[in-house]
Amino acid sequence: MILNPFGTADWMAIAPIVALAIASLLVLLADLVARPAISRYGAVAIGLLGTAAAAVLAAMQYGHVYAAFFGGFVTGGFTTVFEEIVAIALAGSLALYATLGDPKRIGGTVALMLWGSCGAMLMAGAANLMTIFLGLELLSLALYCLCGMVDRRGARESALKYLILSSTASGFLLFGMALLFGASGSVLLADLARPQLAANPLFWMGSGLFLIGLAFKMSLVPFHAWAPDVYEGAPLPVTAYMSVATKAATLAVFARVLYAALPAGTASHVMLPVWIVAGISMIAGNVGMLAQHDLKRLLAYSGIAQVGYILTAMAGGSALGLRYAIYYLVAYTFMNLGAFAVATAISGEHEEGARLVSYAGLARRRPWLAAAMTFFMLALAGMPPTAGFLGKILILATSADSGYAWLGGLLVAGTAISLYAYAKVVRAMYLPQSGDHHVADLRPIAPLAWISVTLCLIGVIAMTFYPLTPSNVLPLLR
């Protein structure tokens, strides 16, 4: 009899990832077979179909907890939520890529985006160190290539920078994993929660190096310098993808470690440096935004601060905190993708939408786009009629409740600073400019970018009025 170590149920658990992988192979095949005939829309259509299939398959798993591959991949609740976030980011950036992308490279780019998302979804469900590393590298390797996929010197440079710095961070993460394996004798995250580990120096060194690696991937402050440069150099749709999917996947790993893989009583000690770094990120990220004249750099600094907000929600290690963190992450996904979609809608070949100068007088040329951008900026800043405001209130409440009021205080301070930076974009669009000669270069309307803007608007508004936070996520985490 042939030994079959993995049953059908194991393959069902990774069905969304398999769907993405199949779609990416189909894109490559179509690109190869029908090269002159396949338009950029053809490749993107296959990609979007694969993404939709993955999203539906993931949604069908919700509530059916299953630990596949000897406990290496857990799916059902928490994982499903993060898989959906990755699917949203992927669908959004594919739509943007159809508008802006280089037709010569469309097949490879779409395939890489799909593979990167396989990695991100693996990270979302990773319950042992091997799966975390595999998912992280799959995502990162795809992103290095994606950053350099255009003929621009800046893009190549950002790819090199990202490759070197991110691989170094992977080295730290991996060495930390090796030490954690040495401490526990197991690669399962759940085995790291054994109480006797609290006295083992290997555990402390290992978790320290592991967290340095994660902090880099989340672009927290001492390890954030790569983010603005890489975001600036990478093509606009790739930046949009990176800003959401990488953060979501890394936050999923971080949350699983925090909630399910620490010996009882050690969480507040092991994670204290992370909370401090998150606090610094909220201030430094928002201060960094003030000096930027490039939308991608501005949103990179914004992202550094936003990760800080999400970590603030988790700081107490409470179930409620995780729910609010997920709520804010979903809202952030829509706001950020929306801002990038507006930038794409006013971009041509040279990515004009990435520069703040291009927004001068936009309110007269494209009043609806300007209104949408204003809404997204207000949401990112956390102003009252938006999901960003609701999310911040919930985070403040939970941080005060769990004894991390100082983080809440830093969040408020950071928000106050950020208002000025976000207002800069809005001011440019609405204030009449003396040298306003941009009226002439009105581009034809890019339908997919406009659809993305609309869907993101609907997403943010829906999140405001129906603050859905998955209630039974925490018990499904392990």
Partner 1 sequence: MTGALPVALGNYVALASVMFFIGVVGVLVRRNPLVMLMSIELMFNAANVLFMAFARAWLQNAGQIFAFLVITVAAAEAAIGLAIVVAVFRSAATVDVDEVRSLHG
Binding mask 383-422 for partner 1 (x = CB under 8 A): ----------------------------------------
Q: How many residues does the chain have?
A: 478
Q: How far is the CB of 152 from partner 1 (least distance, A)?
A: 8
Cβ proximity to partner 1: between 179 and 426 the closer is: 179
DSSP string, 405-445: HHHHHHHHHHHHHHHHHHHHHHHHHHS--TT--GGG-PPPP
Q: Is 255 in the site for partner 1 (CB under 8 A)?
A: no
Near partner 1 in 220-249, by CB under 8 A: 225, 228-229, 232-233
Near partner 1 in 112-141, by CB under 8 A: 129-130, 133-134, 137, 141
If we measure between CA atoms, which residue out of 51, 31, 32 comes closest to residue 40?
31
Q: How far is the CB of 274 from partner 1 (least distance, A)?
A: 21
Near partner 1 in 182-211, by CB under 8 A: 182, 185-187
Q: Is 153 in the site for partner 1 (CB under 8 A)?
A: yes
Q: Is 45 in the site for partner 1 (CB under 8 A)?
A: no
Cβ proximity to partner 1: between 182 and 475 the closer is: 182
Asked if 430 contacts 363 with a C-beta cutoff of 8 angstroms, the reply is: yes
- Token pair, residue 255, equals 């949350």
Q: Of the candidates 9, 49, 60, 164, which one interacts with partner 1 according to CB under 8 A? A: 164
Binding mask 71-110 for partner 1 (x = CB under 8 A): ----------------------------------------
- CA angle at 35 for the pair 29 and 39, rounded to the nearest 5°: 100
Q: Is 357 in the site for partner 1 (CB under 8 A)?
A: no
Stretch near partner 1 under the rule CB under 8 A, chosen from 38-46, 50-58, 176-184, 467-475: 176-184
- Token pair, residue 441, equals 């270069």
Stretch near partner 1 under the rule CB under 8 A, chosen from 149-157, 327-335, 367-375, 390-398: 149-157
* Dihedral angle of Cα 243, 244, 245, 251, to the nearest 10 degrees: 100
State how far the Cα of 259 lies from the Cα of 188, in Å rounded to an integer. 14
With 0-12 / 13-18 / 19 or more C-beta atoms within 10 angstroms meaning exposed / middle / buried, residue 468 is: exposed
Q: Which helix (H) or strand (E) holds 354?
A: none
State how far the Cα of 431 lies from the Cα of 364, in Å rounded to an integer. 10
State how far the Cα of 464 lies from the Cα of 335, in Å rounded to an integer. 12
Task: Name the site residues for partner 1 (rule: CB under 8 A).
Answer: 129-130, 133-134, 137, 141, 144-145, 148, 151-154, 156-161, 163-164, 167-168, 170-172, 174-175, 177-179, 181-182, 185-187, 225, 228-229, 232-233
